[in-house]
Amino acid sequence: MIRWGVVGTGMMAIEHIANLMLTPGSVITALVDPEPASIARARAAVRGDVRVFESPAALASSGTVDAVLVASPNFTHHDVLQPLLDARLNILCEKPLATTLADARDIAARVAGYDKVFWTGMEYRFMPPAAAFITQVHGGKVGQIKMLSIREHRFPFLVKVGDWNRFNANTGGTMVEKCCHFFDLMRVIVDSEPVRVFCSGGVDVNHADERYGGRAPDIIDNSFTTVDFANGVRALLDLSMFADGAENQEEIVAVGDKARLDVLIPAGDLVFHPRVGFRNPKQVERTHVAVDPAALAAGQHHGATFYQHAAFAAAVRGDGPVVVTADDGLRAVAMGLAAETSAREQRVVAMSELGL
């Protein structure tokens, strides 16, 4: 059995708890959160005996856990991780790894040579339709990939405890908080590193009537971001946080020299479009990628959280690799920060400016 502690018991932690309870050989034994209401919800979700600790350090020294999920607010990750790393625990740290480049670098440096599992929580890699899409692109389905586009048209950011997610200082900015998932997917699908980033984004619709201590939210709610990769592939991220009526929340399209391949989520379909030449009949093929119904019902990420936990458990037991490393987390944060800088300063940002 892997004994789990959970640090930060808000909305995303509840999804993790539901999926851990579906994961064979996992048991939740400890919780940490300063908010009594959040602890109460987590206790109810666990439906069993669980200890509550006053701090990550107290949890780390308790000897009651083998692995820890860090799902506390983004800006707390760096400090929360320190005692957990000192205690040499297996760690799954929710995205983003950190909100600043300095903190992300420090975490990645500390994890270098770590003799336990450290895993950055990038659920989107593990959505079964997205995973099948990645496998097919890497297998040459589209030929040599030249273009990648990712569209997420979705609902606004939800309310969090203390409304911490309304301000860039707490989240790292929307392009870090939300879009690190997609920048991570870009790197995986393209199999190269980014060279330059240009983002045009704005605060145009959401949260306009909200005030917190007299301050208005400053988080981007829509953007286009283009990324040039070292291998010549171009990628585009199209984000709208006020398009909750869209049929599919995510649409990912890879175009190569031989074909185009789409994945649609939550439809769960892969759509293959081989090149046929001008005016010739199209030969579109559509296949559906099934997801375990229990995994689908246990969260909002199309089953991805369950499959990520299965892979994490395999890594802890020595039966599989660490799929998403601290370095992956650092690079996704860096791409998000480059996009935030680009949108704010209205210019192209070279990744070399960030030392990457």
Q: Per the structure, how many domains does the chain have?
A: 2
**What is the 3 state secondary structure string of 184-207?**
HHHHHHHCCCEEEEEEEEECCCCC
Q: Which domain holds residue 142?
A: 125-292+324-354
- Shared domain check, 11 and 69: yes
- Per DSSP, the chain holds a count of helices (H) and strands (E) of 12, 15
**Alpha-carbon gap, residue 311 to 36, rounded angstroms:** 31
**Alpha-carbon gap, residue 181 to 96, rounded angstroms:** 8
Average pLDDT of the residues of the chain: 97
- What b/e sequence results for 156-193 when a residue is b if at least 16 CB atoms lie within 10 Å of its CB, and e otherwise? ebeeebeebbbbbebbbbbbbbbbbbbbbbbbbbbebe
- Shared domain check, 194 and 91: no
Q: Is the pTM of this model over 0.75?
A: yes
Q: Is residue 141 part of a domain?
A: yes
Contacts of residue 346, Cβ cutoff 8 Å, sequence gap at least 6: 200
Per-residue confidence (pLDDT) for residue 292, from 0 to 100: 94
Percent of the chain residues past pLDDT 70, beyond the cut: 100
> pLDDT per residue over 242-251, tens digit each?
999 999 999 9
Pair 98, 124: CB distance under 8 Å: no
Q: Is residue 299 part of a domain?
A: no
Listed residues 101, 122, 143: the one ending a domain: 122
Listed residues 122, 139, 165: the one ending a domain: 122
> pLDDT per residue over 270-314, tens digit each?
999 999 999 999 999 999 999 999 999 999 999 999 999 999 999
- Shared domain check, 210 and 270: yes
Identify the CATH number of the domain in which residue 113 sits.
3.40.50.720
> pLDDT per residue over 128-183, tens digit each?
999 999 999 999 999 999 999 999 999 999 988 889 999 999 999 999 999 999 99
Dihedrals phi, psi of 325, to nearest 5 degrees: -85, 175
pLDDT above 90: residue 67 = yes
**Alpha-carbon gap, residue 169 to 218, rounded angstroms:** 9
- Shared domain check, 175 and 101: no
Pair 108, 344: CB distance under 8 Å: no
- Shared domain check, 129 and 50: no
**Alpha-carbon gap, residue 178 to 275, rounded angstroms:** 34
Identify the CATH number of the domain in which residue 131 sits.
3.30.360.10
pLDDT above 90: residue 197 = yes
**Alpha-carbon gap, residue 260 to 272, rounded angstroms:** 6
- Shared domain check, 63 and 183: no
**Alpha-carbon gap, residue 59 to 41, rounded angstroms:** 19
Pair 6, 28: CB distance under 8 Å: yes
**Alpha-carbon gap, residue 295 to 301, rounded angstroms:** 9
From the list 218, 195, 224, the residue with the least C-alpha distance to 331 is 195
Q: What is the chain's percent helix, strand, coil content, to nearest 5?
A: 35, 25, 40
Question: For 43, left (φ over 0), alpha (ψ -120 to 50), or beta?
Answer: alpha
Q: Is residue 310 part of a domain?
A: no
- Shared domain check, 161 and 58: no
Q: Is residue 309 part of a domain?
A: no
Bridge partners of 237, per DSSP, are 150, 225
Per-residue confidence (pLDDT) for residue 47, from 0 to 100: 86
Q: Is residue 307 part of a domain?
A: no
Listed residues 76, 99, 122: the one ending a domain: 122
- Going by DSSP bridges, is the β-strand pair 67-70/2-7 parallel, antiparallel, or unpaired? parallel
- Shared domain check, 182 and 255: yes
> pLDDT per residue over 310-355, tens digit each?
999 999 999 999 999 999 999 999 999 999 999 999 999 999 999 9
